Amino acid sequence: MKTVALLAALLAGSAHAATPADLVLRNGVVDTMNAKAPRATALAVSGNRIVAVGSDAQVSAWVGPATRVVDLAGASVIPGFTESHGHLMALGDARLDVDLTAARNWPEIVATMKAAAAQAKKGEWLAGWGWHESKWNEPPVPLVRGFQTHDALSAATPDNPVVLSRADGHATIVNARVMELMSIGRASQAPEGGEIIKDAAGLPTGVLVDNAMELVHVPPPSAERRARALDLALQECLRKGITSFEDAGSSSEDIALFKDYAQARKLGPRLYVMVAGYDLLRRFDKPEIGLGDGFLTIRAVKLVADGAMGSRGAALLEPYEDDPKNSGFYTTPPETVLATARYALEYGFQVNVHAIGDRTNRMVLDTFEKAFKEYPRVKDPRFRIEHAQILDAKDIPRFAKLGVIASMQGIHCTSDRPWAASRIGMARVTEGLYVWRKLLASGATIVNGTDVPVEDVDAIKNYYASVTRRPAAGGEAFDPDQKMTREEALRSYTLAAAYGAFEEKDRGSIEVGKLADLTVLSKDLLNVPDDELLKTEVLHTIVDGRILYSRP
């Protein structure tokens, strides 16, 4: 009955509603991302859909006695933020593990872990995350291949296995207890696509890069801890205005937990799952779309084709500027990328490949191109390259030409740029490092995200980095000619992001008929001056027509 009345009102295009709305937001600045009507002051929601967008006067016709009316008092409404590339369970784990991001040097980290070990039971595994030697105020002593060694940590934590992840997730340092348990020693060989860093005497320093991290088998967390991590992650996303989250590499255990949550209607934000790797993908013979009333979609696969620039694992066409014998490595061979692409095209999945170095980006573009030619019947595969950080000039126009989406992280630019030139040299920085403007100008679609927990899942900080290319702490803009406009950056976080998940018909803009996924902000992101952007606060996060978060 309600639906019929609603449809009648929509068909009539009328300003007066047959059935009052459940929720009306008015007296605000609504940035719709709908090119035909980019601005409004009010909107109405019935159930989980938007039923009216317009002026306060137009939308007032939808107010009935039971309608919840929110006076925005000049606040701004945007289509809810989509985090296009994050790691949801790792975000929750990060809130349960020791946070090392603020540590100023290696001795501080050793002291922090010593204190944590004093609180723990003997033999209990301890995890920390977020160290980044390039951000420290003094270099560690001793220093081997640019990294600290385990000695001080092992001396401080003799009774507990300790694993500390680098901020980018592409390296860990472990203590002697872990190396003992896992039999990592002088004779150990790293698996392909990884490295066990060893000192001049040939002994492991405790630093494991990329696939070498697999040598450590941390005991699996309890079901209770996993649920606690997921709860914390979902809550943090809502606090930061995220209404959809694209999980870049979910394990089968993660997916089982997400399904439980979807069934119990406990999700929010919505989740778009990229399953981790080809082997897991092959357990699916079709995408699973809109489970749990539209809150969970499993439609993509994530591959990791190289390492990171910071740990010099990104595969480059020419060697590293500061390590001339090293040009990085693939962590997934091209044959596997091709096999995955074929399987995905056959069964209707999207392929999203982590590629940081210019050699890897070219390899993935070549492989996608070959696979697309084999499957001309698939008209709109929307394959993605995750990160697309370092591009050779010849490859930049290929994204638009092949319809490959560049899934980039604005804030990686301002985090990495201070040391990136020492890794790859200024010529490559200028040619192809985080070249958003060159990609957009060539017609490519960019979707934005934070790679949380590598960066804070905070969309405002990421938006600021995307439109200013200035670090939040201040300073000059990096390569300012590559900034996104305000509108482009908002698109990369909303409508383009929805397109990147095949969901632009349902969300990503504020239009009649779309899902009511909305973020209410204290400032208008399209017009607030640069220096006030970071003061923007999330006032409400609305998912599926329900206000799931309001600023206390």
Residues near Zn ion (CB under 5 A) are 248, 451
Query: 303 or 363: whose CB is closer to Zn ion?
Result: 303
Q: How far is the CB of 249 from Zn ion (least distance, A)?
A: 7
Cα dihedral 363, 364, 369, 372 in deg (nearest 10): 150
463 contact partners, CB below 8 Å, separation of at least 6:
410, 448, 489, 490, 493, 525, 533
Instruction: Pick left, alpha or beta for residue 348 (phi over 0 → left; psi -120 to 50 → alpha; otherwise beta).
Output: left
Q: How far is the CB of 87 from Zn ion (least distance, A)?
A: 6
Q: How far is the CB of 471 from Zn ion (least distance, A)?
A: 21
Q: How far is the CB of 452 from Zn ion (least distance, A)?
A: 9
Query: 451 or 517: whose CB is closer to Zn ion?
Result: 451
Query: 432 or 449: whose CB is closer to Zn ion?
Result: 449
Which among 146, 209, 148, 151 has a CA at the least distance from the CA of 176?
Answer: 151
State the Cα angle at 67 between 61 and 71, rounded to 5°.
80
From first CA to last CA, the distance across the chain in angstroms is 37
Query: 22 or 236: whose CB is closer to Zn ion?
Result: 236
Query: 210 or 524: whose CB is closer to Zn ion?
Result: 210
Query: 140 or 269: whose CB is closer to Zn ion?
Result: 269
Q: How far is the CB of 310 from Zn ion (least distance, A)?
A: 13
Q: How far is the CB of 83 from Zn ion (least distance, A)?
A: 11
Q: How far is the CB of 241 from Zn ion (least distance, A)?
A: 20
Distance CA 119, CA 211 (A): 31
Other Cβ atoms within 10 Å of 118 Cβ, number:
10
Distance CA 269, CA 543 (A): 7
Distance CA 266, CA 483 (A): 38
Query: 86 or 508: whose CB is closer to Zn ion?
Result: 86
- Tell me if residue 318 falls in helix, strand or coil: coil
In the complex, which residue's CB is closest to Zn ion? 451
Q: How far is the CB of 248 from Zn ion (least distance, A)?
A: 5
Contact 267, 261 (CB under 8 A): yes
| Helix H or strand E segment including 458 | none
Distance CA 528, CA 192 (A): 49
Query: 106 or 383: whose CB is closer to Zn ion?
Result: 383
Query: 409 or 482: whose CB is closer to Zn ion?
Result: 409
Distance CA 437, CA 37 (A): 25
| Helix H or strand E segment including 354 | strand 350-355
Which among 217, 188, 215 has a CA at the least distance from the CA of 203?
Answer: 188
Token pair 């934590």 is found at 157
* Amino acid sitting at position 23: L
- Per DSSP (E only), the strands in 132-193 are 162-166, 171-174
Q: How far is the CB of 234 from Zn ion (least distance, A)?
A: 18
* Amino acid sitting at position 199: D
Distance CA 482, CA 19 (A): 48
Q: How far is the CB of 85 from Zn ion (least distance, A)?
A: 6
Query: 41 or 332: whose CB is closer to Zn ion?
Result: 332
